[in-house]
Structures are given as structure tokens and as C-alpha cells.
Structure 1
Amino acid sequence: MADVAPLGIFGKIASQSAWAENADTLRRRVGEIPTEERRRIAEYLRSGAPVIALMGFSEDILGDKFVRSGGTALMSDGRFFWRLDAADYVEYYGIGLPEEFIAHGAARQWIATTLSRGEVIEVDDRLAELRRSGVL
């Protein structure tokens, strides 16, 4: 459980201004997820367990399609972790995600595992390690 991996570009803590620096990287991945798959993947991302809840909101850095309250919060399914607003980027733009994650979610029929309190604490401990090492 404690060996959670970042979900590509979405696996980082960043303020709105720092996150905006990723716009070009996101633009290059627009449309990689087919329209018919976006909603269920986005629902999976939204149903992950909140591990680090952060105040504020995130704004769409590619256009004006969404604003997400708490969008910089980090979510997890026990295997990966991601920003909450990753779901919006997938749903509205089809931003591509790592193949390992797509295989992982598809194998679970896009139903996120419910994490126990202890498992959330394990993930949080791992994220703290990553922050101390400079990865996050």
C-alpha cells in the first residue's frame, strides 16, 4: 500500500500559479483518452480517497471549462495518487494518463477501492516521504 505512485503530471502538489506552468505539457496530451471513456475514468478519479485536502480552488489552465473547489487536493486509490482536478482535465479534454494506470483502473472496472483510515494514513506517510525527498 505505501508504495503509491504519482499519476503522471497530476501526481504533484502545486499552487495554481505553479500548476499553470504545466499548460503546454497538458495541451500535448489533449484528446488521448477517447470521448466515450472519459466520464467513467473521471468518476473513478473523483471517487478516490482524499489524502491531502487543500483549501482554495483550481482553475482550468487550458480554457474556461471548469473551476474546481479543492482541486489541488491529493486523492488516491491505494496504488496511485493525483490532484482532484485531474478528473476535470480527463473529462473535458481527454488528457492522457499513464498506461499502467489505465490498465489498473480497467482491471477494476473503474470502481475505486475504498481505503480504510489506516490505508489513508499509510498513503499520507508515503506522500510525506516524497515531499521530504523533493519528489512532490
Structure 2
Amino acid sequence: MREVQPPGILSSLASRQEYARHKDEIAGQTDALREEDRARVASYLRRGHVVLAILEYTTDILKDRFGTSGGSGILTDGTYYWRGGAADYVETYGASPGDAFVRHVDDGNGEPPPLTQDDVIDIDDYFMHLCREQLA
């Protein structure tokens, strides 16, 4: 089992309806990411490896500016995980996944590292462990 970390609210393991309850928290992060960092960080987020494919189409909970196929799904780079729609919030509103995550993106030259199928399975095991804990 390989643990991965959430970079803030952009990684909430919740359905679109549950995620909408975080509207004020996300709104409080708008423009927290510098304009010059948005495209690079959003591109990184979009190129993550899919761990939990959830086909739910989500819409922007702030101002309904975008929709995301698989927006509730979870992607990873092997260190962090985030929602499928995270890149849209970063790009559209400048919502920041946190300074540590931005440094992590820069340390990898903006490219998520390759993961093997075994890596992804180990990370999936971690999420299944989290789900079992929540149900207990």
C-alpha cells in the first residue's frame, strides 16, 4: 500500500454534491496562485495518472464556468493525489494546491513522474484502505 497526500481542498474524495459543500473554502482560495503559475500547474494536474476513474460529469461549483468529465475521479503523481477537476479550478480561478505542491511540480520540471501499473495498484490499495476506514 502506497500512501499519497492531498494538496488541500482540490483533492477532496467526494461526489460533486458533497464537494459543493466546500464552495466557500474554494472561493477563499481564488487568486491564491500567481497568474504565471496557473497554466504550468494545471497542465501537470491534467497529466496525472488516473487511480479512481469516476465518470461523473461535474460542473464548476463557484460560477458555473466549466464542466469536467470525470471531475470526481482521482489522479496522482505517486506523491500527491487530486480530483479530476482540480486543474480547471487552478486555471480558471487561480485556486492554489499549496506552495509545497507548486514546488513539487517545479522540482519535477512540470512533468509527473512515470508510474508502473504496480505503483498505481499500490496507490489504489491505499484509497480502498481509506474507504474501509470511513465505513468502519
TM-score interval for Structure 1 and Structure 2 normalised by the shorter chain: over 0.9
Judge which range, 107-116 or 73-82, deviates more. Answer: 107-116
1:1-136 paired onto structure 2 within 5 Å: 2-134=2-134
Unaligned regions of 5+ residues in structure 2, if any? none
2:134 match: secondary structure: coil
Following superposition, the deviation at residue 3 of structure 1 comes to 2.1
Q: Aligned partners of 1:11 and 1:69: how far apart in 2?
A: 16
The answer (yes or no) to whether the contact 1:72–1:85 under 8 Å persists in 2 is yes
**Contact 2:58–2:67 (Cα < 8 Å) also in 1:** yes
1:134 partner amino acid: Q
Checking the alignment, whether the CA contact within 8 Å between 2:12 and 2:19 is kept in structure 1 is: no
Cα root mean square deviation, aligned: 1.5
Look up the SS of the partner of 1:109 in the other structure.
coil
User: Which secondary structure does the structure 2 equivalent of 1:82 belong to?
Assistant: strand
- The amino acid that maps onto 2:5 is A
Paired with 2:104 and 2:96, the residues of 1 have a C-alpha distance of 14
Residue 7 of structure 1: CA displacement?
Answer: 2.0
**Could you tell me the TM-score, scaled by structure 1's length?**
0.93
Contact 1:59 1:66 (8 Å CA) reproduced: yes
**What percentage of residue pairs aligned between the two structures are identical?**
36
Aligned residues: 135
SS in 1 for 2:104: helix
Asked if the contact 1:53/1:73 (under 8 Å) is kept, the reply is yes
Q: CA deviation at 1:134?
A: 2.4
Q: Quick check: 2:11–2:86 contact (8 Å CA) kept in 1?
A: no
Structure 1 residue ranges without an equivalent (≥5): none
Q: Which runs of 4+ in 1 moved over 4 A?
A: none
